[in-house]
């Protein structure tokens, strides 16, 4: 697997250097950037994929609809567009989306600096089989129940953000 060259940031999210992704994870520090996104349909269901077995972190776990690292020289929106194309084969110019929030690991108990997006679509993505092995349309409540039953761990922020943005506003 190819490693990613990431911008390393300080506590205010300003770039202070670069590092390979593997090194950043080995250090265990939250000083890098990521994007996450939910695809939600008009029925209020989230499109939730399962990661492939050979992913470095959370293999076989449920995941955000789109997720990835902000690579060196990119901004959050650029990384979102790149990951959307790589993982779901969708062009950013062809989807309806909005930014849900920006989170800091120093203020919001998340593992990295993070921008979260929401894509409104009733279309089921033709996902990249190198990233995901299967996917489901689930209501937020059903997703949280499924996460409690899963034998494969999911990203901890998945349940947290589903609760924050969707559970109290179940559609």
* Residue 170 banded pLDDT, cuts 50, 70, 90: very low
Say how far apart CA 39 and CA 20 lie, in whole Å. Answer: 29
> Is pLDDT above 60 for 18?
yes
- Structural domain of 24: 5-167
In angstroms, the Cα distances linking 161 to 41, 51, 73, 118 are: 17, 18, 27, 11
Task: Identify the CA nearest to 64 among candidates 87, 82, 92, 86.
Answer: 87
* Residue 3 banded pLDDT, cuts 50, 70, 90: confident
pLDDT at 156: 87
Query: Of residues 162 and 155, which shows the higher confidence score?
Result: 162
> Is pLDDT above 90 for 171?
no
pLDDT at 27: 87
**pLDDT-above-70 percentage for the chain:** 96
Domain count for the chain: 1
Say how far apart CA 126 and CA 140 lie, in whole Å. Answer: 22
pLDDT at 168: 67
C-beta atoms surrounding 76 within 10 Å? 19
pLDDT in tens, 32-76: 999 999 999 999 999 999 999 999 889 999 999 999 999 999 999
| pTM summary value | 0.93
Task: Identify the CA nearest to 144 among candidates 164, 128, 125.
Answer: 164
Residue that has been written with the tokens 């690292």 in this structure: 69
DSSP secondary structure string for all residues of 155-168: PHHHHHHHIIIIIT
- Mean pLDDT (the chain, rounded): 94
Mean of the pLDDT values across residues 72-92? 97
Residue that has been written with the tokens 């190819």 in this structure: 2
Question: Where residue 74 sits, what CATH number does that domain have?
Answer: 3.90.79.10
């Amino acid at each position: 697997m190819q490693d990613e060259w990431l911008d390393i940031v300080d506590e205010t999210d300003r770039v202070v250097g670069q590092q390979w992704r593997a090194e950043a994870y080995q250090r265990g520090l939250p000083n890098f950037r990521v994007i996450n996104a939910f695809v939600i349909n008009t029925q209020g269901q989230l499109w939730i994929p399962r990661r492939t077995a050979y992913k470095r972190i959370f293999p076989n776990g449920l995941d955000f609809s789109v997720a990835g690292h902000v690579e060196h020289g990119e901004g959050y929106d650029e990384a979102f567009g790149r990951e959307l194309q790589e993982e779901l084969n969708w062009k950013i110019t062809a989807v309806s989306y909005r930014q849900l929030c920006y989170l800091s690991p120093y203020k919001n108990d998340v593992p990295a600096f993070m921008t979260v997006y929401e894509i409104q679509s009733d279309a089921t993505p033709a996902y990249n089989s190198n990233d995901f092995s299967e996917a489901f349309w689930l209501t937020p409540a059903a997703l949280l129940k499924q996460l409690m039953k899963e034998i494969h761990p999911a990203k901890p922020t998945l349940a947290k953000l589903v609760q924050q943005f969707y559970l109290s506003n179940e559609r």
